[in-house]
Amino acid sequence: MSVGPMRELGRVFDSVADAYDAGRPTYPDELFHALAEVSGVELAGATAIDVGAGTGILTRALRARGTRVVAVDPSVEMLARLVSRSKAEVTGGSAARAEGTAAVRADGDDLPLADGVADLVTYAQSWHWLDPVSSIAEARRVLRPGGAIAGCWNLANAAQADWLAAYEARLAEACPAYWGQALEEWSVPPIAAAFEVVGERWVPWTRLVGIEEFLLDLRSHSYMAELPAEAAGELVERQRAELRRTFPGGVVSVPMRVYLAVGR
């Protein structure tokens, strides 16, 4: 994917930055245990390049474990939220620093970083937006010897709940750009085919979340951003009504699983 499409993608996510920041789930502790075990990289004291960092969900989790992080994303608004905790601003082509994290607006297929500067290159919910060849070549370039590449995806597990399968089916019906578990051809992104894999893990967990926060998560997806505003609003109302019937207490129990692939 060239710089032009990546900048356009950045603008798509600019429009949903608030919903993304408020609604997307964090990652379970078990993911980070698996990442350190499979990669052989001790997170405390390591340097990571978090490509497609968005609003910093994985970035903050790595920082909490003592990792120095360079967060890379093409979206100005997403990065602005990443650095907002320190009241810093990000503008096009600039770098900012928040809580020891450098935030850089850039394309993951063309990293503006020197060779051999990182112990980890991570892609959290992001590698599928990149060129599979260029992105991995760039990751290898910026890694030190012994470094590792890791891709992870936080996925609602529709096979574990009928209500969730129906929820995904409604999305598939309403959103032309939908790509998810309601489609027979759907699969996890093929990152494991892009490099020499040293390990893959599935990490199950359960997300307890209020209905409105769950619907903010829905609003944060690119296939929703591509819908006309009226159609998106109608779809959210349909999903809200079904969720209230299924969870009258207002708290949704979502079976989740994180897919992790680690390579060198």
| Higher pLDDT among residues 1 and 119, named by residue | 119
Position 22 scores a pLDDT of: 80
Q: How far apart are CA 123 and CA 191, in angstroms?
A: 10
- Give residue 18's pLDDT band: very low, low, confident or very high (50, 70, 90): confident
| Higher pLDDT among residues 110 and 85, named by residue | 110
Q: How far apart are CA 64 and CA 93, in angstroms?
A: 27
Q: How far apart are CA 245 and CA 242, in angstroms?
A: 5
Asked if pLDDT for residue 59 goes beyond 90, the answer is yes
Over range 35-42, report the average pLDDT. 97
pLDDT in tens, 163-193: 999 999 999 999 999 999 999 999 999 999 9
Asked if pLDDT for residue 10 goes beyond 80, the answer is no
Q: How far apart are CA 235 and CA 203, in angstroms?
A: 30
pLDDT in tens, 224-264: 999 999 999 999 999 999 999 999 999 999 999 999 999 98
Domains annotated for the chain, with CATH where assigned, are: 3-156+186-207+255-263 (3.40.50.150)
76-80 long-range contacts (CB < 8 A, ≥24 apart) are: 76/10, 76/14, 76/105, 77/13, 77/14, 77/15, 77/17, 78/10, 78/13, 78/14, 78/17, 78/20, 78/21, 78/53, 78/54, 79/53, 79/103, 79/104, 79/105, 80/17
Position 90 scores a pLDDT of: 47
The token pair at 155 is 């996925």
- Give residue 12's pLDDT band: very low, low, confident or very high (50, 70, 90): low
